[in-house]
A and B are shown apart, each in its own frame.
Chain A
């Protein structure tokens, strides 16, 4: 069990650029979640997948955000036309199934200049 991994760990970009983050869940976990955490706040839910199907999206996930999980393995989160308000820590978590413990990765810290 290697845990949840996320890449890159840090990303600095200029406003208007597109960025993509990757999450590799624990291998046998069917569910994968994305959360966003801003400074001094708790994580907020963005979206989740069961296998390759994206089953729920938060209202926080604007049209500029898109997430995929091809083949039900790793997932990517893309932000188009980044804005300064997108600066945050993006956390990925995975779980075995419904109501099971969610295990978190180390996060990707995005800074939009």
Chain B
């Protein structure tokens, strides 16, 4: 069965520092991959997605992610953290032929002033 693993349930960085949130998936077939952000008591907002083609994907708010098939990874990065980036981030996979998103357990990002 496919699964998504996010390394680190809590990541803390200083404002202006690099943000790196890790995501690995397990699937025999490369899935479609997504990063969502969730602010307190709100639903999930799509940051970016990878389907096919270019492996470096740019999203909203300055985030980007790179699909690496050899490493089965889809890590999320942002060069310079902003206070407004503090939120919960979820990596998710959609396996072709399946209908449901499989989510990682989430990473809470804290930004220190």
Contact = CB atoms under 8 A, between A and B. Distances in A.
Interface residues of B, number: 25
A56 B100 contact: yes
Given A43-B101, A43-B103, A56-B99, A106 B43 contact: yes
The main secondary structure of chain B at its interface with chain A is strand
B82 interface: no
Interface string A78-93: 0000000000000101
Contacts of B41: 107, 109
Interface of A: 4, 6, 31, 33, 35, 40-45, 48, 55-56, 58, 91, 93, 98-99, 101-107, 109
A107 B34 contact: no
B44 interface: yes
A104 B45 contact: yes
A99 B103 contact: no
